[in-house]
Amino acid sequence: MERRPVILSGIQPSGRLTIGHYTGALRNWAALQPTHACFFMIADLHAITVRQDPIELRQRTLEVAALFIACGIDPSQSTLFVQSHVPEHTQLTWVLTCFTGMGECSRMTQFKEKSAQYRHNINVGLFAYPILMAADILLYQADLVPVGADQKQHLELTRNLAERFNHLYGQIFRIPEPYIPPVGAKIMSLQEPTKKMSKSDPNDNAVLFLTDSPEDIHRKIRRAITDSGREIRYDEKQRPGLSNLIVLYHIATGKSITEIEHEFEGSGYADLKAALAEALIEFLRPIREEYGRLCDAKDYLQNILLRGAEKARTRAHQTLQLVHNCVGFLPTLTPEAAVGMAHNR
Ligand code: TRP
């Protein structure tokens, strides 16, 4: 039988998901499902490298799970699970940690950035973060890992660790390839349009969340920063605010930039903003509505995560056993085997 290529990816539940998560990740993941064996993970172990409020983290984890499904991840096709539910992730991390040089981790750009950003909490988890990510990927023998460009360096480390291990012990790990999806348009902050839109922006008005109500969307678009000027013309350099709104309109309607410029010939910013708010409300409607239904069905959601974790564990466990065997750990006994041994003594 033909082996379908394996995909693994994850998102941290460290904030609410934005329209960028949909266009840049979830939409592409959903499209890969029919042709790949997919594992999609909510990376809560990664999230606690930065201090999280426990109640909020629990809530966000469920929220992200619901949004995965609302954005087209089909739990009957793909394995959808929470990272901390599969203890093999932490177990493999330890082994890999013992095969990683200090220098390899301290070189990581994200570590340097985050340790500058969270000066008061530069913990070892933040340092080892990419090793945990390597474990996530290698446990499932993933072929392809869809990630944003900012995660490419972590993938490079993952490949190095896998090759190092294989060199010592034989073909244990499949060497994964990054899959950087064809960049859709980059979405910028609505308040500071030269900065990327980010789920952790303290200013709520700067970000379009997937769960925003129509009123939220109207308000945020109305308040979005534009530039001085009159006519609707795309110019990323000179008019980043307006250009960002044009990009969003392109995303919501599928119209090309040229078509949009034609549509608004002779109209002003207010017309564009009004049309954009309506278009975004429609674009996000199916996600928002499905999300609402899932929130009313917590048992259903929890059940999916439970079954997802079971499925993930089955696969992860096989890899972990291989690894434990390679490094010389004594195999654990099943309770039945242990009883058998006691009888035979
Ligand atoms: N570090 C990734 C991010 O912040 C999330 C993540 C965790 C991930 N484990 C992963 C992505 C494994 C791909 C594969 O974007």
CATH number at residue 302: 3.40.50.620
pLDDT exceeds cutoff 90 at 47: yes
- Report pLDDT for 210: 97
Contact (Cβ atoms closer than 8 angstroms) between residue 272 and residue 48: no
- For residue range 256-315, list pLDDT tens digits in order: 999 999 999 999 999 999 999 999 999 999 999 999 999 999 999 999 999 999 999 999
Pairing of strands 6-11, 37-42: parallel
Place of tokens 């890992």: 145
Instruction: Answer yes or no: is 115 within a domain.
Output: yes
Instruction: Answer yes or no: is 230 within a domain.
Output: yes
Tell me the whole-structure pTM to 2 decimals.
0.93
For ligand 1, the distance from its centroid to the CA atom of residue 169, given in whole angstroms, is: 26
Distances (CA, A) of 255 to 185, 230, 276, 279: 13, 21, 12, 11
Separation of alpha carbons 49 and 127, rounded Å: 9
148 & 129 share domain: yes
Question: Which residue type does 307 have?
Answer: R
Residue 23 DSSP symbol: I
CA-nearest residue, atom 14 of ligand 1? 9
Separation of alpha carbons 159 and 181, rounded Å: 19
27 & 51 share domain: yes
Instruction: Answer yes or no: is 189 within a domain.
Output: no
11 & 137 share domain: yes
Please state, for a pLDDT cut of 90, what percent of the chain lies above it. 88
Exactly one of 152, 186, 195, 196 is catalytic; which is it? 196
172 & 214 share domain: no
- Report pLDDT for 148: 87
For ligand 1, the distance from its centroid to the CA atom of residue 9, given in whole angstroms, is: 6
Instruction: Answer yes or no: is 145 within a domain.
Output: yes
Range of weakest confidence among 49-58, 193-202, 332-341? 332-341
199 is catalytic: yes
| Mean local confidence (pLDDT), 90-105 | 98
CB 147 less than 6 A from any atom of ligand 1: yes
Instruction: Answer yes or no: is 135 within a domain.
Output: yes
Instruction: Answer yes or no: is 325 within a domain.
Output: yes
96 & 119 share domain: yes
CB 146 less than 6 A from any atom of ligand 1: no
170 & 73 share domain: yes
How many of the other CB atoms lie within 10 Å of CB of 246? 23
276 & 138 share domain: no
Exactly one of 112, 114, 255, 273 is catalytic; which is it? 114
- For residue range 217-261, list pLDDT tens digits in order: 999 999 999 988 889 999 999 999 999 999 999 999 999 999 999
Place of tokens 């899959």: 179
- Report pLDDT for 340: 63
CB 61 less than 6 A from any atom of ligand 1: no
178 & 235 share domain: no
Query: Would you place residue 343 in the very low, low, confident or very high pLDDT band (cuts 50, 70, 90)?
Result: low
CB 16 less than 6 A from any atom of ligand 1: no
Q: Give the count of domains, the chain.
A: 2
pLDDT exceeds cutoff 60 at 204: yes
154 & 16 share domain: yes
69 & 166 share domain: yes
218 & 98 share domain: no
pLDDT exceeds cutoff 80 at 160: yes
165 & 225 share domain: no
In which domain, by residue range, is 252 found? Answer: 204-295
